């Protein structure tokens, strides 16, 4: 599922193929996937310049003059840049235009599960309204100081903390599990119980894992592929996610899976011991 590294990979590809170009038409094939507000209709986008493609957490931000297009891929959303209009079964919109060299592009948005959304919004004040106003500091932008403050003000365990997009944005189920494993922290560890030192280590590990995953084009488990159709390869470096019962790469103890906050949670009971107090992990 697209999390920060997957969305960042796609962002770079969209920036290359659309940045500096122009929109000719937004063709909406399934109403409900596209949400229009503040008078920014699909038709009103014709002729709009395309600026940068930015990202905050898992949200893609396409600058279009006075307007902003926000794209959230959710579980199975898949943007794909093609040279022709060729909608498939699950193609919900096609953004047609020309790139900065005047060459035609067709940005297809496929999404079998239809959880993904495209918002069309006025650029002015866009940070103050949903969905952007709900997104906290990007996981690659948050400073160690901010991160420590967020941790200590959190009542609850580490895993839900990492998944909460309102605090630190961009981490989903895969990277939460991988980050905690690499830190040797049990997912149920109370967030506020980390001292400054371990908070700093968690912050550094988070950055390291996300950076490495971006280098490898994200994790292709199930549906995810890049905007070019290529697969990512960070799944080859997964230590615990999706590896229930398989040996931990560090110590060979079988990986355990529990449900936490309704999410499958993978960890190594030996490398990530549950700290004091509670029952054995």
Partner DNA sequence: AGTTCCCTGAGG
Partner DNA sequence: CCTCAGGGAACT
Q: Could you list the residues that contact DNA (CB under 7 A)? A: 1, 3, 32, 57-58, 72, 74-76, 89-90, 112-115, 130-131, 134, 155-156, 160, 163, 165, 172-174, 222, 260-264
**What's the min distance (Å) between Cβ of 176 and DNA?**
8
In the complex with DNA, the residue whose CB is nearer, 50 or 213, is: 213
DSSP states along 57-74: TTEEEEEETTEEEEEE-T
**What's the min distance (Å) between Cβ of 167 and DNA?**
11
**What's the min distance (Å) between Cβ of 222 and DNA?**
7
Q: Which helix H or strand E contains 15, and what residues bound it?
A: helix 4-18
User: What does DSSP assign to residue 174?
Assistant: H
Q: Helix or strand or coil: residue 29?
A: coil
Residue 164, both tokens = 């909460």
Q: Which helix H or strand E contains 168, and what residues bound it?
A: strand 168-169
**What's the min distance (Å) between Cβ of 101 and DNA?**
33
**What's the min distance (Å) between Cβ of 241 and DNA?**
8
Catalytic one of 11, 55, 56, 58: 58
Pairing of strands 137-138, 168-169: parallel
Give the number of residues written for the chain: 281
In the complex with DNA, the residue whose CB is nearer, 58 or 182, is: 58
In the complex with DNA, the residue whose CB is nearer, 97 or 131, is: 131
In the complex with DNA, the residue whose CB is nearer, 46 or 154, is: 154
Residue 84 backbone class (left: φ over 0; alpha: ψ -120 to 50; beta: rest): beta
Q: Which helix H or strand E contains 25, and what residues bound it?
A: strand 22-28
Catalytic one of 263, 273, 275, 281: 263
Catalytic, 3? Answer yes
Sequence-separated contacts (24+) of 25-28 with Cβ below 8 Å = 25/95, 25/96, 25/97, 26/93, 26/94, 26/95, 26/96, 26/120, 27/85, 27/93, 27/94, 27/95, 27/96, 28/92, 28/93
Residue 5, both tokens = 């590294």
Catalytic, 58? Answer yes
What sign does the dihedral 181-185-189-191 (CA atoms) show? negative
In the complex with DNA, the residue whose CB is nearer, 29 or 115, is: 115
**What's the min distance (Å) between Cβ of 105 and DNA?**
26
In the complex with DNA, the residue whose CB is nearer, 67 or 117, is: 117
Catalytic, 130? Answer no
Query: So which residues are the catalytic ones?
Result: 2-3, 58, 263
């Amino acid at each position: 599922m697209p999390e920060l590294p997957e969305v960042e990979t796609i962002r770079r590809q969209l920036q290359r193929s659309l940045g500096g170009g122009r929109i000719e038409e937004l063709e909406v094939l399934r109403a409900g996937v596209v949400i229009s507000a503040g008078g920014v209709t699909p038709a009103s986008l014709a002729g709009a310049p395309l600026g940068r493609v930015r990202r905050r957490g898992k949200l893609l931000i396409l600058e279009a003059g006075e307007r902003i297009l926000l794209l959230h891929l959710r579980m199975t959303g898949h943007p794909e840049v093609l040279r022709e209009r060729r909608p498939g079964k699950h193609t919900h919109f096609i953004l047609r235009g020309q790139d900065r060299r005047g060459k035609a592009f067709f940005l297809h948005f496929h999404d079998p599960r239809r959880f993904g959304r495209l918002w069309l919004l006025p650029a002015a004040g866009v940070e103050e309204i949903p969905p952007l106003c709900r997104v906290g500091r990007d996981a690659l932008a948050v400073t160690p100081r901010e991160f420590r403050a967020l941790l200590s003000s959190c009542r609850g365990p580490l895993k839900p903390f990492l998944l909460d997009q309102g605090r630190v944005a961009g981490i989903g189920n895969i990277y939460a599990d991988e980050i905690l494993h690499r830190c040797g922290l049990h997912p149920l560890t109370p967030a506020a119980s980390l001292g400054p030192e371990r908070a700093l280590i968690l912050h550094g590990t988070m950055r390291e894992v996300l950076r490495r995953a971006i280098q490898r084009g994200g994790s292709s488990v199930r549906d995810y592929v890049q905007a070019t159709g290529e697969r990512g390869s960070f799944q080859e470096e997964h230590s615990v996610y999706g590896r229930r019962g398989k040996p931990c790469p560090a110590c060979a103890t079988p990986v355990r899976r529990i449900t936490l906050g309704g999410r499958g949670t993978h960890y190594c009971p030996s490398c990530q011991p549950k700290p004091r107090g509670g029952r054995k992990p």
